Structure 1
Amino acid sequence: MAETTEPGGTSDLEAILREAGLRITRQRRVILAILAEGGDHPDALALFRRASRQDATISLSTVYRTMKVLEEKGAIQRHTFEGGPARFEHADGRHHDHLIDLDSGAVIEFRSEKIEKLQEEIARELGYEIVSHRLELYGRRRK
C-alpha cells in the first residue's frame, strides 16, 4: 500500500489522527489508504466493506471513530443526501456541487460558473455575502 504525500493523502490523514490522540493502527492505515485512493463518496458501511476485504480484523466502530475524528478536524466532509446514509469526501478539493441519481444512488460532482454567479447575484440583491453553500440536485436519467 503506497503512502501518498498529496494533500488529503495517507500521511496527511495520519498526522490529523495522531494530533487527535489516535494511534495509527494497521486497520486505520487501510481505512486511510481507501480514503486517499477513492474518488467517490462512500458511506461508512462501504468503507468498512472495502477495508475488511484487505483486513478482516477491521471493525465498523473503527471506521466510524476514524471518520468522526477526520470530520471534526475538517479533513473530510459529511454529506447526508436525502434519506440516505452519511457519505464522505475529502474537504480539501475545489468547491463543487452534487447531482444525486435517485435510481442508482450515484453522486456526480459538477461545477457551474453560471450557478455560482447567480447565487452571488441573488445574495447581493438580498443584502448578503455568501459565506458557504451546498447545492444538491436530485434526478433520474432521461429515457
Structure 2
Amino acid sequence: MAPGQLRRREARGRHTRKVRGRHTPVVVTGIRLRRSPAYIGGVSDLGARLRAAGRRLTPQRQLVLDAVEELGHATPEQIVDTVAARGGAPMALSTVYRSLEALQDLGLVSHTHVDHRVPSYHLASHATHVHVVCRECGSVGEAPTDVAKEFVERLDRSLGFEADVTHAAIHGLCRDCRSPREET
C-alpha cells in the first residue's frame, strides 16, 4: 500500500492512513479526511506520546477519550454508559479510571470535583472556566477564569501560592434559588 493511501480496517470499522510507516486513524467525513478525536489539543501522535510515557494507545483509552469529548463533562460512570450506548463491548469502571489516569498524565484530560462524589472529567483544552455549583438545586454552571483573577493574584501576593482555578468548583446559590430567599 502506498504511503498516504487510505486503508479500511474491517474488524473495527475505522479508516487509517499510512503516515511514516504507521497507520494513523482518521474519520471519513464526505470527501475530506479529518483526524480522529484522539488528536485533539495539538496532539499530533497520541500513540507516540503514550509509548514515550511507557503506555499504549489501547482501544479502551480511545473510547474513553471519545466519550469525554462527546459529553463535555463526564463522570466515569457516564463514560461507561456512553461507551455501552454506542454498542461497544462492556467496559469495567476500573478500566475507565485507569484510562482517565493515563490521559490525565499526558495532559489530555483534567478533572474537577463539583461535589463530594466522583470527579467530573473534561478535555484539558476545555479547562478555561471555573465551575459554579448551586447548593440548593445542584445546577452546575461555568464562569470565565477572569472572574477569579483578583483572588488568584491575592493568593500569590499574600501566600506565594499559585492557584489553578480551572480545577475548582465554587459552591453557592444560583440566581433562581437565591430569588425566593431575598423576597422573604
| TM superposition score category, shorter chain reference | 0.7 to 0.9
**Deviations along 1:42-91, whole A, 9 cap, x unmatched?**
11111111112221332222211100112223322222233121221222
Taking a change above 3 Å as real, the CA distance of residues 17 and 107 of structure 1, as seen in their structure-2 partners, is farther
Is the contact made by 1:8 and 1:92 (CA closer than 8 Å) also made in structure 2? no
- Report the Cα offset of residue 31 of structure 1: 1.6
**Which structure has the higher relative contact order (CA within 8 Å, separation 6+)?**
1
Match of 2:130 in 1: 97
Q: Percent identity among equivalent residues?
A: 25
1:6 and 2:40 aligned: yes
2: distance between equivalents of 1:60 and 1:67? 11
User: Out of 68, 82, 89, which is 1:50 matched to?
Assistant: 82
User: Out of 91, 103, 106, which is 1:70 matched to?
Assistant: 103
Match of 2:52 in 1: 19
Match of 2:120 in 1: 87
Match for 2:85: what amino acid? R
Query: How many residues are aligned here?
Result: 139
Match for 1:7: what amino acid? G
1: distance between equivalents of 2:59 and 2:171? 38
Q: TM-score w.r.t. structure 1 length?
A: 0.72
Q: TM-score w.r.t. structure 2 length?
A: 0.59
Match for 1:27: what amino acid? Q
* Structure number having the greater strand percentage: 2
**Deviations along 1:108-134, whole A, 9 cap, x unmatched?**
22116353135425643x364x52332
CA RMSD of aligned residues (A): 3.0
Match for 1:132: what amino acid? A
Taking a change above 3 Å as real, the CA distance of residues 58 and 94 of structure 1, as seen in their structure-2 partners, is closer
1:139 and 2:179 aligned: no
Q: Secondary structure of the residue that 1:92 maps to in structure 2?
A: helix
